[in-house]
Structure 1
Amino acid sequence: MTRTVDVVVIGGGQAGLAAGYHLRRLGVDFVILDAQSAPGGAWQHTWDSLHLFSPAAFSSLPGSAMPVQIGETYPDAAHVVTYLSEYEHRYELPLMRPVSVHGVHRDGAFLRVESDAGVWRARVVISATGTWWRPFLPAVPGRSEFAGQQLHTVEYRSPAEFAGRRVEVVGGGNSGAQIAADLAYDTELTWVTRRPPRFLADDIDGRALFDAATARRKALESGSADTGGVASLGDIVAVPPVREARDAGLLKASPMFARLSSDGVEWADGTRAEADAVIWCTGFRPTLSHLAPLQLRGSRGHITTVGTRAADEPRLHLLGYGDWTGPASATLIGVGRPARDAAREIAGLLGPRS
């Protein structure tokens, strides 16, 4: 069965919901296709101890403030899932799930969205699939030889399964620091990073990060010097568990090892360490395979955009993948503005409503 609609939004996480909110306000005919079986996007798949960097008031999607979580300054992932679920119901967003999109194709005046639930012909497509579903693993020598357990951030849940084991946590960003802090008390932990970890000042949280990203956007738009944004402040937000482990002397980083062996890791100077598990907190890449038929990706895997619009396909918008699709657009509070701008541009392209 083929259905025709003005806009198809691919992805029902925070970016897709923000897009849906603004499209509904503008009276656009749209549908959101979500591959997940339940609301909450990637937040329903995170590790048990994960909390936001910001208080609830600074972690909200457009139109509806996130409620405070009783007893928590920084809400946990389960609270975010509940908020997103209530958000989509509050605004009666037209979601269909679980629906996996296989490909987006040009089809005359339309883009044809092919999925396991049928085909949609859309005048515009918003891709909002995020990055969680495409974890990145670096090409470290010996990775295939290691006989122990290897997993990525997306597969880690709690320290209980690693108690008493020798664990290497790889990565100097927020995920690496938080998971290392999680494991610091009950495992023989080695935290390795490519460069010395850069902790933000203890009083900086997501509010300041959003302000930094906003200031950078304004500077670039006005032609002023690049402020550096969030990257100028550091790499790791010192959330309470990270701060506690660091201050207890349990969160000391070692340089990145050169290779893995069957039973551990080895540094360039020949130093070796046995390991039972390696957790790769090495980031993600944008989930864009469904857009491959459009042949828009550049050498670095990104699609060139003007704002959120694909530079070489004006009927396609990308939302929530990172700063290249809007400053702070991969965050709850930051996705609202690019979602609004995309919806307005799309409404202008579609023309007056009859």
Structure 2
Amino acid sequence: MNRIWDAIVIGGGQAGLASGYHLQKNELQFLILESEEQATGSWPKYYDSLKLFSPARFSALPGIKISGDPDRYPTKLEVISYLEDYQKHFNLPIVKNSKVISVVKDNKVYMIQTASGSTYKAKTIINVTGSFNNPFTPYIKGKELFKGRTIHSADYLTPEAFINQRVVVVGSRNSAVQIAIELADVSNTTLAVRHPVKIVSQKILGKDLHFWLRIIGFDTFPFWKFGKKVPTSDSVIDSGNFKEPLDKGKPDQKQMFTSFYSEGVVWPDGTKEPVDTVIFATGYQSNFPYLLEVEALDAEGNPIHAGGVSTSTPGLYYVGIEGQRSFASATLRGVGSDAGYVVRKLLAYLETIK
């Protein structure tokens, strides 16, 4: 209760483990507070068929490579196993079942309260909880009238529950396309899109796309240092399994529907079509309510930061935010570099408060 740690890491997924690696490497006294029974982040909750979009050789956390063929695309279960082995290998100090519910700051010390009733003190905090626990579902006219089922892709695991259904998947990025193609084998599935799906080949001149992104420096280019927002891509990376089914109309693509009605959806031409299930693959939003009291968030609940360093709350840092420092930020291949950067900033801050 009275011990003051050099750092507390909030979240034990891939970003938390990478942060722990760099904190340990610099011989700091720290704990990782993980809300779940497993310190594997959101991976156990993703749909079962998910694979990494980058090959194993580019997807490891610092210190340990992903074993096996470096050119394969690891599955969800392989990533979970890798993260479990990673924390054991480095013997990272993880306190599980410790969901953080509030953070306050008294002078130069943070007080972290968990749902289990424990309180921790720390000179610094690295927040790595991401946004998976806050799926974004846009409001569409008539949604409250729809008698069918609506879910977010965060709640989708396997296609078995949708056999012989009429399903509409909303979205045009990788997850939406992968889920829709999988469902099209067992159901009548449509992708509802704003713009037609854009396909980018996974292999260019025999090399994975991420090889070229790294060679030209785009993957890790620090746009934020120049006051620029890190660009996002609306293209779908095709490992070879997407183009053919899309070309065959399995699933087909339609312009996003304009509204719901009791039995289904209304397409832009006014056609009403009965639908059993609508799946929104529409992303996630920031969700850090426990940081409100330390005035770390803007009016929309997003962290106020530059490259993962809070610009409003000294001693507070982030890892795992999309576009935090580069195109690779928030990915398995990018969190190690981001964690190394914020830990260097954290060390400099600790020097100032001695």
Partner SS for 2:337: helix
Bigger CA drift: 76-85 or 237-246? 237-246
1:38 aligns with 2:38: yes
C-alpha separation between the residues in 1 aligned to 2:38 and 2:193? 35
Match of 1:258 in 2: 258
The 3 A distance-change label for structure 1 pair 6 and 157 is: same
Question: 1:275-314 to 2 correspondence within 5 Å?
Answer: 275-314=275-314
Question: 1:234-273 to 2 correspondence within 5 Å?
Answer: 234-273=234-273
Match of 1:87 in 2: 86
Match of 2:214 in 1: 211
Match of 2:161 in 1: 161
Contact 2:324–2:330 under 8 Å retained in 1 = no
The 3 A distance-change label for structure 1 pair 140 and 9 is: same
Partner SS for 2:199: coil
The 3 A distance-change label for structure 1 pair 305 and 327 is: farther
Q: Name the aligned partner's letter for residue 265 of structure 2.
A: V
Superposed displacement of residue 4, structure 1: 2.2
Contact 2:47–2:157 under 8 Å retained in 1 = yes
The Cα offsets for residues 274-304 of structure 1, whole Å up to 9 and x where unpaired, read as: 1000111010012212212122322343222
1:108 aligns with 2:107: yes
The Cα offsets for residues 238-268 of structure 1, whole Å up to 9 and x where unpaired, read as: 1343244224431332111111111100023
The Cα offsets for residues 191-239 of structure 1, whole Å up to 9 and x where unpaired, read as: 1012222211342656258538942753737859x797552xx421113
The 3 A distance-change label for structure 1 pair 313 and 228 is: closer
Return structure 1 stretches of 4+ with deviation > 6 angstroms.
Answer: none
1:122 aligns with 2:135: no
- How high is the TM-score relative to the length of structure 2? 0.91
Partner SS for 1:63: coil
5+ residue gaps, structure 2: none
Match of 1:198 in 2: 198
Match of 1:345 in 2: 345
The 3 A distance-change label for structure 1 pair 38 and 236 is: same
C-alpha separation between the residues in 2 aligned to 1:241 and 1:61? 27
Identity %: 32
Match of 1:331 in 2: 331
Bigger CA drift: 16-25 or 265-274? 265-274
1:55 aligns with 2:37: no
Contact 2:35–2:96 under 8 Å retained in 1 = yes
Matched length: 350
The 3 A distance-change label for structure 1 pair 183 and 13 is: same
Partner SS for 2:42: helix
Contact 2:151–2:280 under 8 Å retained in 1 = yes
C-alpha separation between the residues in 2 aligned to 1:138 and 1:76? 29
C-alpha separation between the residues in 2 aligned to 1:216 and 1:203? 16
Contact 1:210–1:334 under 8 Å retained in 2 = no
Contact 2:203–2:209 under 8 Å retained in 1 = no
Contact 2:223–2:326 under 8 Å retained in 1 = no
Partner SS for 1:41: coil
Match of 1:98 in 2: 97
C-alpha separation between the residues in 1 aligned to 2:219 and 2:65? 25
Q: Name the aligned partner's letter for residue 111 of structure 1.
A: Y
C-alpha separation between the residues in 2 aligned to 1:154 and 1:240? 24
C-alpha separation between the residues in 1 aligned to 2:12 and 2:225? 33
Partner SS for 2:235: coil
The 3 A distance-change label for structure 1 pair 157 and 227 is: closer
Superposed displacement of residue 108, structure 1: 1.5
Partner SS for 2:343: helix
Q: Name the aligned partner's letter for residue 307 of structure 2.
A: G
- RMSD (Å), alpha carbons: 2.6
C-alpha separation between the residues in 2 aligned to 1:178 and 1:209? 23
- How high is the TM-score relative to the length of structure 1? 0.91
Contact 1:171–1:282 under 8 Å retained in 2 = yes
C-alpha separation between the residues in 2 aligned to 1:306 and 1:213? 24
The 3 A distance-change label for structure 1 pair 16 and 227 is: closer
Question: 1:126-165 to 2 correspondence within 5 Å?
Answer: 126-165=126-165
